Amino acid sequence: MAAGEARTRHVARSLLGRALPVVGVAIAVSLFEFASRSGLVDARFLPPASSMLGSLVDQVADGSIWQPVGQTLQGWALGLGLAMAIALPLGTLIGSVFLLFMATRSIVEFLRPVPSVALIPLAVLLFGAGLESKIFLATFAATWPILLQTLYGVRDVDPVAMETARSFGIKAPQRLRRVVLPSALPYIATGVRISSAVALILSVTAELVLGAPGLGQEINIARQSGAVELMYGLIIATGLIGWGLNVLVALVERRLLHWHPSQRERT
Amino acid sequence: MRFHPILDRARPVAAVVAVAAVAVAGCGDGDDADSEGGGELVTINIGTLPIANASPMYLGMEEGFFEEEGLEIEPTVLQGGNEIITGLVSGDYDFGFVGYISAGVALSQDVPVCVVTSSDATGTTPEDDWQVLVAGPDNGIESPQDLAGTTLGINALGGVAEVMIKAALDADGVDPNSVELIEVPFPEVPAAVAEGRIDAGYTSEPFVTTVLDQGGEVVYAPQSELAPEYPNGSYAASEQFIAENGDVVERFARAMNRSLDYARENEDAVRSIIPSFTEIDPEVAERMRLPVYTSELDEQAIDEQMGFLEQYDIVEAAAPTADELICG
């Protein structure tokens, strides 16, 4: 009896868990729709959600959205990939060597808050106004979260585990692979998830400002043409892509960390 | 203290750009534009804006004017003139759509650009001018005198809007410092005047038509107030490109001037090509106000505009003369 009741309660809760996000989205969209339909905001300048989504659907239907989406994703993938290639080894190195950690701390803390957008003139100077600049900006911004997370993840390794490995005579490369990295991986995964969003934001920004082809450029053209619904439709598209990428990265994270307590609790 | 965000922003850019020019010159970076194979088209990169002013270039591409000169146009659509000037000097664009005022400001800061051909001019009256001050209904602005004490939205402080509004007010006997200028981008002007956040706003098409459609009015047309068909836009290049690609520059100028004359004479063609490179509604493109396309470089009017740059403290150093601004 008691077991059956508990199971029912469990099922009810998991159903609720699945339904709540949908309910949340539905409420947000309806509020959005209501705000402009009721005249709370001027519908000419902030059209109701349904017309923005309608214009997005038109773009999907006639296929014109896919090329800019691909160009934006290209900037995201190359930016995030390069950021990982730079930040993972660098973070591991700085995190492992205490002197290096102390020596680079102020440099990292100085460079980290520099807004990537402020580097646009520098990017144009070094790489021109095309894809290279977009990747430079995305990489610059996406490097810091991964670098810091890796660095602190590596530094946060349980000293007892390290000492134990040492006293068993396990060599440094093996210790890195079997003790340090598994322990730092949850930190790194969080860094990558943050950087994924950052890389997308910077790709779109570079397209908006530099005219590199992609969703940002399409948004700019729509804005300067007074095509308000299309502009918001494209902005929604960037949000949807960000959301989709986050789901994707979280999925990879769960795969990689299936053994970790934080992931076991979730399932 | 006078507040000049755009200038403050432009200065470091100008400095970087100047360094870039030196760096590029030092490398002796050969541009692909000077390699001319037998019968093969030379690709030239153009920095442009998604606005009706760019129509002649697209018409020229469609009509084959550039191809006849052995040129293929590769346009890049940007957000504003500053980015285009940066891209010209960094070598990303061979030519760029730049206003005379922006080009003059850049040159006064030793950014090495010059004007190759004309592009467009403003209208002749407030009824046909396409870059004007607009306001909502019942705005109470009947004459230039009524503008004293108002708050006006302009797209960029220290740019063409500030220069032209101040010069026109001066010409009409209104103290140019009696208006308060704040930054409101062109696309946001219709909402800003509808909500009364500004008394009037300086905007361009298609937003002038948007405002007229929502019952607003054109209250002041600074450029056409100063002179009919007052120079506005041009195609500029970096001095380095000009020096190294004399032949391409000549061919571009010929094809562009032909495109400008063609656009001036074929209004219908202009109206129908606008939706192809913008997202402007074809119905709006049919009836909105069009820039006056012209292949003529009005040196006297350009000289006058450069004088305004100094007169209204837009530039700190000496402004160039029309002769210095125009290449060659």
A68-113 pLDDT, tens digit per residue, is 999 999 999 999 999 999 999 999 888 888 888 888 888 888 888 8
Based on the fold, state whether residues A153 and A31 are members of the same structural domain: no
Contact between B104 and B299 under an 8 Å Cβ cutoff? The reply is no
Complex confidence, ipTM: 0.70
A221 contacts B92? CB cut-off 8 A: no
Rounded CA-CA distance A73/B208 in Å is 36
- Number of domains forming the structure of chain A: 2
List the CATH number of the domain containing A120: 1.10.3720.10
In this structure, the strands spanning B151-154 and B180-183 are: parallel
Query: What domains lie within chain B, and their CATH numbers?
Result: 5-122+230-325 (3.40.190.10), 131-226 (3.40.190.10)
Q: What pLDDT, on a 0 to 100 scale, did the predictor assign at position A193?
A: 92
Instruction: Check CB contact of A114 with chain B, cutoff 8 Å.
Output: no
| Chain A residues with beta carbon closer than 8 angstroms to that of B93 | 129
From B84, B204, B278, select the one nearest A221 (Cα to Cα): B278
Do strands B95-99 and B231-238 pair parallel, antiparallel, or not at all (unpaired)?
Answer: antiparallel
Residue B317 is classified by DSSP as S
Question: Is the Cβ of A217 closer than 8 Å to some Cβ of chain B?
Answer: yes
Same structural domain for residues A23 and A126? Answer: no
Measure CB to CB from residue A223 to each of B17, B187, B194 and give the nearest one.
B187
| Contact at CB, A121 and B187, closer than 8 angstroms | no
| Residue B326: DSSP 8-state | B
Residue bearing tokens 């730092």: A184
**Alpha-carbon gap, residue A187 to B42, rounded angstroms:** 52
Confidence of residue A157 (pLDDT cuts 50, 70, 90): confident
Q: Please check whether residues A123 and A13 belong to one and the same domain.
A: no
What tokens appear for B195 in the block? Answer: 């909500």
Co-location of A119 and A222 in the same domain: yes
Which of A43 and A68 is assigned the larger pLDDT?
A68
User: Chain A: nearest CA to B300, how far in angstroms?
Assistant: 31
Residue A267 tokens, joined? 């399932």
pLDDT band at B312 (very low <50, low <70, confident <90, very high): confident
- List Cα–Cα distances, A11 to A6, A15, A21, A264, B134, in angstroms: 9, 6, 17, 18, 61
For residues A185-194, one letter each, b for 16 or more C-beta atoms within 10 angstroms of the residue's C-beta and e for the rest, the string is: bbbbbbbbbb
Q: A60 and A102 share a domain?
A: yes
Residues A249, A154 share a domain: yes
| Residues A97, A175 within the same domain | yes
Q: Report helix, strand or coil for A91.
A: helix
Look at B28 and B92; give whichever has higher pLDDT.
B92
H helix count then E strand count, chain A:
12, 0
Give residue A234's domain range: 47-266
**Lowest mean pLDDT segment, chosen from A58-62, A148-152, B48-52:** A58-62
Q: Do A148 and A99 fall within a single domain?
A: yes
- Both A5 and A61 in a single domain? no
Compare CB distances from B79 to A125, A211, A226 and report the shortest one's residue.
A211
Answer yes or no: do A162 and A239 share one domain.
yes
**Res. B2 pLDDT band, cuts 50 70 90:** very low
Q: Do B280 and A220 touch (CB under 8 A)?
A: no
Band (pLDDT 50/70/90 cuts) for residue B25 is very low
Q: Closest Cα partner for B184 from B207, B172, B202?
A: B202
Q: Are residues A158 and A231 in the same domain?
A: yes
Domain check: are A119 and A177 in the same one? yes
- Average pLDDT for A143-159: 89
Print the SS3 string covering A47-85.
Answer: CCHHHHHHHHHHHHHCCCCHHHHHHHHHHHHHHHHHHHH
Q: Which residue has the higher pLDDT, B59 or B146?
A: B59
